Structure 1
Amino acid sequence: MTSLNAGAIVVRLFISAIIQRLLTEYVGPVGQYKIGQLRSLSILLTSITSLGTFNGIVKYIAEYKKDEIKLQQLFSSVFIFLIVGVSISTSVLLFFSKDISNYLFSSTEYSYLIKLTAIIIPFIAVQRVFNGVINGLSEYKKYAKIDLISYLFSALLTVFFLFQYNLDGVLVAIAITPVVQVSVMLFFFYKVLREYIQFKDLTLQAPMAKALLAFTVMSFVSSILLPIVEIDIRGMLDEKLSGRDAGIWTNMTFISQNYMVFSSSIFTLYVIPKFAGIYNAGNFKKEVFSIYKTLLPLFAGGMILVFFFRNVIIDIIYPGQIEMAPLFKWQLMGDFVRLASLVLAHQFLAKKLVINFIFTEIMSLALFYGFAYYFTGIYGVEGVVMAHFLRYLVYFFVVLYLVSRYFKKKRSAIE
């Protein structure tokens, strides 16, 4: 699975580098800041439209993939969640398009873009659910193929719209990308989806609503609050420093997202289903060390290369944005600690430990928000990546303590 992901990620990184170079030349850091705002909105909607059921789908598909009755109950429940999530999201975007445009871009001129996104919302929701099915089934090869082909088509769409309509074209391309993703997914995975989702038998009942609501709450904290915090931090950088600084940080996070996507697919395809079936501390430690032995050296090696060639990366992808160079060390250290932390934290999702998950996520976001505002006043844009590192350092030790406490309680209960 790691090797499959590595191949897909190498291709993604190469294409992403070309697109980022084109964006640097055509729209500059201020344009990239606006692109970052829209991407954060897209991430926000990915969770809201499905009411955060993604991890629940992954968990229960892994557990019930041979139980037709349970699967039918699951997808009927998810269907209700989608209707609610899509209705709320579409209404809010249509009625408050000018306010949302002003919040994201400090201008109402992009209200048309918010309305376009509202029309695309059903595709965002459906794509998220289908992704959950693929992850729950641990279809590694199909997932890698679908993800790569979707990315290629989305990249072509972005480049075409960039050349035709400049920044507005790129923003429109990002907004309609979910349509491309759903189309590719149905082309390659329709037969399997029909095997597990009996579309004609879906009912307006939600027998598993209570089980899924726990994931809705957890998703609200991680998938909804994080993009809001990122949007606010970009706005703060634009206000305190400049739009260019906001763009510089956006570009730094974009580099980070491109190599971190390697780990996110492993978490949902492998870690959650695996942890869901582990019930004692010994087996959990064994599995965690196995994951660490595979992933951490790979990431450490890659991050060291990125650090030593940071100036080359800037010259090739972001020429003229030399302010990015000091940001690399903090971002890379923060991402390494983040990876080690997230492996442990996925125990909260696998075992539906709602309170632990919510507490650690809110703590992490609060630390990031607070540190970012404080350090930006002292160190400028570098203060945000320093906040990123410190936040995950604290997060790691708190998560480690809570996971250890969980297994101690389990052992005490058995004794």
Structure 2
Amino acid sequence: MKKTRFIHAADLHLDSPFQGLSNLPIKLLQEARESTFEALQKLVAYAIKYQVDFVIFAGDLFDGEDRSLKAQSKFKKAMEELQEYGIHCYIIHGNHDHLKGNWVSISWPDNVFFFKAEVDVYKFRKADLTVHLYGYSYPQKTVKDNIAVNYQRIGEADFHIGILHGTADGQEGHDHYAPFSVQQLVEKEFDYWALGHIHKRQVLHENPFVVYSGNFQGRHKKELGDKGIYFVELDHYHSSTLTFLPTSELHWEELTVSIEGIETIDELKNRCELSITEAKKCDRKLFVILRFVGSGPLHNYLTEGVAEFIEVLNWGQEEKEQFAYIVDKKLETIGEWDRQQIKKEQHLLSDIITACDRLLADQEPLVDALAEVFSNQKLKRYLTPFTEEEQKQLLLEAESYILTEFLKERDE
């Protein structure tokens, strides 16, 4: 029976700067910046353990077009280790590490094959097994054309595998590069499609598999949970298997803590610590986003003192081998007042709630309000657009703050 075993990885973003974490303790910031290299070592270990024929890297191997010598050198060392076991590596470049970037060129071992700026095929052969791998590297950062139209089966092989860095119909959250439809890929009659660009792992189709492996190390608070790679086994009897293998050294987790039914800071601290302990049960290194919800007397405290509270929770975490460090918070609590009753009353607070409800009903409530800021060419390069969820969260926090301040004055 003809069979091939390989690893599908994508979006390694080696040497990522982990922007937005500059306020971390130096030790933890260094942990973050080394995490992509540690994930790479896990990938190599898996490839050797499962005795794969080859490894596919579906784009954005490096984080930037000016890839560092450090990133290239560490990747080369990993490839040399795989070469010792006869494992080939097939690589396409994506929008982050496109071919027009500036970098110091280094030599690569003979087991490494880079695709160029046109759809081409490499032929893998071992004993009586032949696999054709098809790929395309971005010639520049922006590729808006449907590149999938250029993928066609060539010659006779036991398996045909497509490697593509792009956006499937319906995918959100990333630049819409090299767009394609899943049906378009299925009609090519390949045995597997190894996709990159979207950082959330997804199986878009089975028989044949059309798969995003996702990135292999989370780099910010929107990339939560386990990240990793796929171990793939293909055979001619349609019993192909797909196995997720975790590689992330650091895990980003959002933990929800309710203030309902408690009145003291000690009780809230205990709830937070219990939630964090539960998340750490697998001895993981965690970057935590704490999401406070519910109503109660601690709402007023959190509105003004949440930064100090988090600082206390973080004491000593940077010294631990398996740390859980809070990097951000979401404040979705409300005070002990009846929002709907206030809304019925005829005064300024009712108008505020009505205005907030009207904005929350919009798909992107703050687009117009922030348009001037995001259209400023000098500011634009430093800003990341808010998601719909983030916009609504900002509105709720603003409403809660205003209501709290007005009700505090009224009660005084």
TM-score band w.r.t. shorter chain: under 0.3
Which is strand-richer, 1 or 2? 2
Larger Rg: 2
Which is helix-richer, 1 or 2? 1
Larger RCO: 1 or 2 (CA < 8 Å, sep 6+): 1
| TM-score when normalising by structure 1 | 0.26
| TM-score when normalising by structure 2 | 0.26
